[in-house]
Structures are given as C-alpha cells and as structure tokens.
Structure 1
C-alpha cells in the first residue's frame, strides 16, 4: 500500500514539474525577444550613421571612432562595440529558439544564455498550462520520475536482501 502511494506521489510531483517546462520555455523566449528588440533599438541611431557615412558597415563606424584622437569617440567606440557583441549574442539566442519545440526546449534546459536564464528563473511564477505540449511533458516527467525512483528503491531492496525475496507463507485459514 505504501508503495502505491509513493508511486502516486512521485508521479504527481513529476507531472507538476513537467507541466512547468513549456511555460519556462515560453517565458525565456519572451525575455530573449524583449532584450533583442531593445538591443536593436539601441543600435538604430548608430546604424543610421553607419548607413549614411559607411554604407551600413557598423564595424567601419567603430574603426572610425577608434582612430580618433578624441577620448570621447574612443569611449563611444567601446560602447558601440559592446552593443554589437550583445546584439549578436541575442540574435544567436533568438535563432536557437526558432526551431522545433524539442530543439527549443533542449536549448532552454541545457544551454541557455546564463544571464537570461537567471532573469527568467528569478521572474518565473509557477503555472499550469493546459495545452497538449504541457500535458505531454507532465505525463512523461511523472512516469519517468515514478519509474526511476521505484526502480532504484527495488534495486536497493534487492541488494540489501542479497537478491532473495522472502518467501510468503500462505495460510488457508
């Protein structure tokens, strides 16, 4: 009886944890998109200047600023360069989130950008999404968790008992 309740409890915990995966992926994707739009907007003025004077080449604008003897221009070159690096990282992250649901989920769970991951986790609120994707993740996670833990407990019991089961005496009365 205890084993049945433990199995049910593990399945429920896995179900609730698995249901969180699509919500987390969605929140992370929205955060990446928001930062990307902000990054593009921050570069707009510099893009216009580069378009007007350097045929749209932002690196040429940065080189021009760096070649100046004015320390303000050198400082601006560093600022533009850091904006460009951040924009490229966000563009790369955005491209990684444009694949199938499996590749998006794998990316968010295994190789997200650390600062965006931390921001997402800090702002994440648990939610129960009733969409097929969340239900599938929930049932799958619940089954795997219940199966793995029960298998480990049975293995530990088998090792402790030396591979033998206690014989159950049957009573006819």
Structure 2
C-alpha cells in the first residue's frame, strides 16, 4: 500500500514540477519584454540629453557632463549626476537584455537565474500569467526540472530513511 501511495506522490510531484518548469521560458520571455520597456524608456530620456550634447558639445555627452559638474548652480550639477546615472542605467539594461537574448537557450536560462535583475523579476512575476507552452525548449525545461526535482526528492527520502534507521538501531543498542 505504501508503494502505491509513494508512486502517486511521485507522479503528482513530477507533474507539478513539470508544469512549473515549463513556465520558465515564458517567464524569461516576459522578463525580456519588461527589460526592453525599461531600456526604451531610459534611452528615450537619454536621447534628450544627447540632443543637447549634439547642439552644444559636438555630440560629446561626457563633455556636457563635465561642464555641468563645473557649474556653480546646484541644479545643473545635479542634472550632470542624473545624466551619468541614466547612462549607467542604459548600459546595465542593455547588458541584462543581451544576457537573455544573444545566447543559446541554456545560456539564457543560466544568465536569467544567476544575473537577472531581482527587482525586474519581481515586477515580472507580479504581472506573470501562467501558460502551458508547447515549444520544445519549454517542454525540455519542464522535463529536466521535473526529473531533477524527483531525483532530489528521492535522495532526501533515502537520506531520511538511512538516518532514521541509524537512529533506531542506536536506540536499540542503548536499550541492551
């Protein structure tokens, strides 16, 4: 009877982890869309400053920042800092987007898991809608995650059984 229940639990666990696993490609796609939106917005703001640099500093945004930093007016100095932060933001978002678009799928997954911006992931998850994609990479991802999850479950179960056997045999030795 225990074997039948364990088999049902294994199948349920596999199914749940498979469904969760196939969500990863969709989450990455929605993350890419959100990143693209953030990048477009940052570039839109930066291009306005670039236009000023084109008119007054021969297109050199760095020269404009240096000139703004040397200004005696605090609001102009603060604007230089805003421009610098905006340039850094554009570079950061471009590198984030590049990490999840310009590589092989497995590298995209790795970059997403290891390097993705946690705030943008959180925002993406807020608006995330669960889907069951039929794309090969989604199905393979789901299967791999489900198999790894099942293996981890089995290993943990085995370790618990070994530890409990050891503890019960130690109790029996102490009783003698």
Shorter-chain TM-score: what band? 0.7 to 0.9
- Alignment of 1:141 onto 2:145: yes
CA positional deviation for 1:80? 1.4
* Structure with larger RCO (C-alpha < 8 A, sep 6+): 1
After superposition, the CA RMSD in angstroms is 1.6
For 2:159 and 2:84, how far apart are their aligned partners in 1?
A: 57
Question: Larger helix proportion, structure 1 or 2?
Answer: 2
CA positional deviation for 1:160? 2.7
For 2:122 and 2:64, how far apart are their aligned partners in 1?
A: 33
Query: Unpaired segments of 5 or more residues in structure 2?
Result: 167-176
Q: 1:71 to 1:151 in 2, by over 3 A?
A: closer
Query: Unpaired segments of 5 or more residues in structure 1?
Result: 163-173
* Counterpart secondary structure, 1:161: helix
Q: 2:99 aligns with which of 66, 75, 96?
A: 96
- Return 116-125 or 26-35, whichever deviates more: 116-125
TM-score of the superposed pair, with normalisation by structure 1: 0.85
CA positional deviation for 1:51? 2.1
1:76-155 superposed matches below 5 A: 76-97=79-100, 98-155=102-159
**For the Cα contact (< 8 Å) 1:7–1:150, is it kept in 2?**
no
- Count the aligned residue pairs: 162
